[in-house]
């Protein structure tokens, strides 16, 4: 009987809004796997106390994806989020979007190098979906040993 990979982890996505054009298709692709993904733009509703929702979502997350770029390195909000994830001992997966040196606190974690796919997508706007598929495939490979299997 074949085994089926069940992604039951809850993902928290941390990124600079200047990188939203890269993150959005990846989040959409992850959600097609049935994975729960928290992303501020579509997970915080009008009238919600956004800081409270962020903190609750961080506490519930199994995996903290931090999309690392020059934009996120300059973002105080991204720093606040990854420092919270560090304090909670959440599984952290840095995702490298460009050649910006990663913060020392994140450098201890195995990263996913998305730079080649990101560069390809930047050169050809029509390839964003393909770049997102490449990322999700890489992420699934990295996380498959954590996921419960049915079968």
pLDDT digits (tens, 9 = 90+) for 96-119: 999 999 999 999 999 988 887 666
pLDDT of residue 151: 40
- Two tokens at 127? 């390839």
Question: What is the distance between the alpha carbons of residues 2 and 147, in angstroms, rounded to a whole number?
Answer: 15
Give domain limits for the chain: 4-145
What residue ranges of the chain have pLDDT lower than 50? 1-6, 123, 125, 146-151
Angle (CA) 74-26-45 rounded to 5° is 75
Would you say 123 and 113 are in contact if contact means Cβ atoms under 8 Å apart? no
pLDDT of residue 17: 95
pLDDT of residue 21: 85
Phi, psi of 137 (to 5 degrees): -60, -45
Beta strand segments in 29-144, E? 36-38, 63-68, 91-96, 112-113
Paired with 150 in beta bridges are 4
The residues, ordered by sequence, that sit 6+ positions from 147 with a Cβ below 8 Å of its Cβ are: 5, 6, 7, 8, 9
Question: What is the distance between the alpha carbons of residues 38 and 41, in angstroms, rounded to a whole number?
Answer: 9
HSE, side-chain direction, 13 A CA sphere, residue 4: 7
Which CATH class name applies to 4-145?
A: alpha beta
pLDDT of residue 144: 55
> Which pTM value belongs to this model?
0.80
The residues, ordered by sequence, that sit 6+ positions from 68 with a Cβ below 8 Å of its Cβ are: 94, 95, 96, 97, 98, 100, 102, 103, 106, 111
């Amino acid at each position: 009987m074949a085994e089926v990979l069940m992604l039951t982890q809850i993902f928290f996505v941390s990124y600079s809004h200047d990188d939203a054009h890269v993150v959005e298709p990846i989040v959409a692709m992850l959600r097609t796997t049935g994975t729960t993904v928290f992303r501020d733009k579509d997970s915080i509703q009008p009238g919600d106390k956004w800081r409270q929702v962020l903190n609750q979502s961080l506490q519930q997350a199994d995996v903290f994806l931090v999309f690392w770029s020059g934009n996120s390195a300059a973002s105080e909000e991204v720093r606040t989020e990854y420092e919270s994830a560090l304090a909670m001992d959440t599984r952290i997966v840095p995702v490298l979007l460009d050649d910006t040196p990663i913060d020392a606190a994140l450098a201890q974690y195995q990263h996913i190098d998305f730079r080649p796919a990101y560069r390809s997508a930047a050169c050809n706007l029509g390839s964003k979906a393909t770049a997102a598929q490449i990322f999700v495939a890489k992420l699934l490979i990295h996380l498959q040993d954590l996921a419960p299997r049915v079968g």
